[in-house]
Amino acid sequence: MTKRCLITNPVSNANLLVGYLKAQGVDCYAVIEMDKVSRMPSLSEKKKGEFNAELYHGIFISAEQVPGPEELPFDIILAGSENGVALAERLSQRHGLTGNDPAHSGLRRHKDAMHRALAQAGLAAIPTCVLDGLSAALSLLPCWEAYPCVFKPQSSAGGEGVVFCRNRIELERAFLGADWGGFSSTWSNNDCFVLQPFITGKEYVVDMVAQAGKYVVSSVCRYIRCDELGIDSCPFVKKFTFLLDPDCERLRALVAYAQQAACALGIHTGAIHMELLDSPAGPVMIEVGARLHGTITPMLFEHCYEPHLLGQLYATSFAGGGEVGSARLIRRGIISDVISMAPGVFNGADEALAPLESFIGLQASVEVGERFKTTTDLFSSSMNAAFSHQDETVLWDDLAAFERWTETVLNGAALTPTAWQFLRDEYRAYF
């Protein structure tokens, strides 16, 4: 029997997912809301070209164009990006398929709703104030006392629009400079922003797959943010991702909290991407996405975990996919995101990376000869690369070589010896 899957708004790294599903014999279809794509004029030609139409049996340009279940039945409908979460939930309900309840979609998209739900479930949450316009924000300013604080769009991803404020002057500047009513990279209007006290702690991400309210762990990663490395221009942007063993003793409380939080947020099926802090008071969620981990990361997961995220998602999505268990780390892996300190023209070629033994692959948002921007968030990071090797010396030597290369061709941030020592010490603490 033919297995069919519909991918909603596959504009992130859906090629990885669709390529894997096709290899398992699944016919994949895509729906892309072109009316929303047209509102993103800044998309680079390379970004537009990342969508591989040849992977799909059919492509629809609006939800209304998707045939009903009698005409074209699907086994599953999956979000192809953060932009596709709400659409996947609505279409799953329309087609009578397993999915998360669209009536509670805000729990998985709006940061204030997420934390309110966690608190109501008795779980650790970050106090969150929602601001529905500039006048409301300025009215709050005289009585806000929780400094330092974080100001960001209600529905955003990748660090877009996030501002760290140490005092009232910086907060007022953030209010006045915010893109109120603008259209974000998650294809939503910035009608509201949120304000939260800044919570200290190491940052992690737990990826899981849910099936009928049960959760299998796909990965646990440690995010190394720029502020931990002395890169002050974009403090909340991650610079490195360490792949860790989900069964590591020091991570068990984090994983247990993540599973409880997923339940509280009504995520009962599909992929889960949850960012958390290990705060002085214990684990607390930053935000969640009911979708795959973005960028090149699932490809490295396939190399380093058994079972891996894409395989787990396939097994839970299709009848006969087999039993699904949580992942274990079988190879060491690290991802580096390029932090460009100044704009420029990309003048490098990735052939220079071929001799690196641990180099697995990269994802670039610019072509050779194309201009790149100063990095302010993950969307303006021009490249990320994946590395894996069992020999720790090889892994770190290759990572250092990649960083030197990016300094030359992408104005990448240069790490100090102190930063490198911190990275090595932090990594070894988990093994």
Share of the chain above pLDDT 90, in %: 80
Fold of 3-99: Rossmann fold (3.40.50)
Average pLDDT of the residues in 252-259: 98
> Mean pLDDT score of the chain, rounded to an integer?
93
Structural contact between residues 360 and 384, judged by C-beta atoms closer than 8 angstroms: no
Task: Report which of 259, 269, 263 is spatially closest to residue 317, judged by C-alpha positions.
Answer: 269
pLDDT for the residue numbered 393: 96
So where are the chain's domains?
3-99, 127-197, 202-428
pLDDT for the residue numbered 213: 82
pLDDT-based confidence at residue 39 (cuts at 50, 70, 90): confident
Q: Is the pLDDT of residue 218 over 60?
A: yes
Q: Is the pLDDT of residue 46 over 70?
A: no
pLDDT for the residue numbered 365: 87
Output phi, psi for 89, to 5 deg. Answer: -65, -45
pLDDT for the residue numbered 199: 96
Average pLDDT of the residues in 94-123: 94
Going from the C-alpha of 111 to that of each of 192, 207, 216, 283, the distances in angstroms are 10, 18, 24, 17
**Backbone Cα Rg of the chain:** 21
Average pLDDT of the residues in 79-87: 91
Structure tokens that stand for 28 in this block: 């994949």
pTM: 0.94
pLDDT for the residue numbered 42: 60
pLDDT for the residue numbered 12: 73
E-only strand ranges, 163-302: 163-165, 193-197, 202-211, 214-225, 238-244, 270-279, 282-289
**Per-residue pLDDT tens for 147-200?**
999 999 998 877 788 899 999 999 999 999 999 988 887 788 888 999 999 999
What residues form DSSP beta bridges with 241? 223, 335
Q: Is the pLDDT of residue 55 over 80?
A: yes
Structural contact between residues 336 and 385, judged by C-beta atoms closer than 8 angstroms: yes
Residue 313, CA atoms < 13 Å, CB-side half-sphere: 31
Length of the chain: 431
In which element (H, E) is residue 111 found?
helix 111-120
Q: Is the pLDDT of residue 48 over 70?
A: no
Classify domain 127-197 by CATH architecture: 2-Layer Sandwich (3.30)
Output phi, psi for 379, to 5 deg. Answer: -70, -25
Q: Is the pLDDT of residue 130 over 80?
A: yes
pLDDT-based confidence at residue 49 (cuts at 50, 70, 90): low
pLDDT-based confidence at residue 409 (cuts at 50, 70, 90): very high
pLDDT for the residue numbered 212: 86
Task: Report which of 146, 126, 293, 270 is spatially closest to residue 205, judged by C-alpha positions.
Answer: 293
pLDDT for the residue numbered 114: 96
User: How far out from the chain centre does Cα 79 lie?
Assistant: 13
CATH number of this structure's domain 202-428, picked from the four choices 3.30.470.20, 3.40.920.10, 3.40.50.300, 1.10.8.100: 3.30.470.20
Please list, in sequence order, all residues whose beta carbon lies within 8 angstroms of the beta carbon of residue 144, skipping any fewer than 6 positions away.
129, 168, 171, 195
CB atoms under 10 Å from CB of 373, counted, come to 16
User: What's the rounded Cα separation, in Å, for the pair 11 and 6?
Assistant: 14
